[in-house]
Structure 1
């Protein structure tokens, strides 16, 4: 299900600068931002964004009260109306730190992010995800992309 929170573009850009965010590293950007943003929760899920058509990405961001803070926003080259966020998992900073430390201990050769939680896992395509929440978020984001792309096709 799509989040009903609003993207705070100015705070997203400010936080992106503060953590020196990089393109194509949304989970790491969100992790670093969570460490410096009081009261924020780290969120993993999916993002539908406009390119030539809408595409679907696995993505990480923060939520703070009723706002989304996306430290990867400057690298997406989109504005708020062209972005749709679909959360699958939310972690407090304490939970996030613990999960990253555990991942580093258990799988030192792998990146600790994203965090998928405990098995059993669901699947989309050939990629393993977290539990049912991931599958539900993926399916909602996929449906939104199809709807938006159909609107684009109908306008042409």
Structure 2
């Protein structure tokens, strides 16, 4: 992770937006609306000691640090969290993408946002563009490394 995760700010914003455990994209969206100068980020999260594969996730990024409004629900120390960004959106871009998704696909959840085609696939699941593939590969490599260290200790 290039920038440190601000644990205190993450917990504060989580309370402010009433974050929910299984809703990282909605949590980050609500937090982005509150902290308008932050970037909404989608990508992957790896949790040391628990992640056997990358977790699709969303958080916020400022010039100095990361803010994860789902942090209180992760039940992990900050130093065990590794973030791999795939896509960054300003609040204005985020609002426009959600508006477009709601208009084009009214029966589907507008989040997460995968950008424009062409999309890549992992397994049989569609994923965003090349930046998603790159972030997934980096996160998968981190999982492999962490899992290998865990196996060596046991």
TM-score (ref. length: structure 2): 0.96
Shift of 1:115: 0.3
Instruction: Report how many aligned residue pairs link the two structures.
Output: 154
Deviation per residue, 1:39-96 (Å, 9 max, x gap)? 1000000000135454420000000112110000000101111100000000000000
Aligned pair 1:141/2:132, yes or no? no
Who is 1:79 aligned against?
Answer: 77
Which of 36, 39, 60 is the equivalent residue of 1:38? Answer: 36
Who is 2:100 aligned against?
Answer: 102
User: Structure 1: 5+ residue runs without aligned partners?
Assistant: none
Which of 3, 14, 17 is the equivalent residue of 1:16? Answer: 14
Which of 103, 113, 116 is the equivalent residue of 2:114? Answer: 116
User: Structure 2: 5+ residue runs without aligned partners?
Assistant: none
Counterparts of 2:140 and 2:51, CA distance in 1 = 13
Shift of 1:38: 3.4
> Aligned-pair RMSD on alpha carbons?
1.1
Shift of 1:126: 1.4
TM-score (ref. length: structure 1): 0.95
Counterparts of 1:113 and 1:89, CA distance in 2 = 13
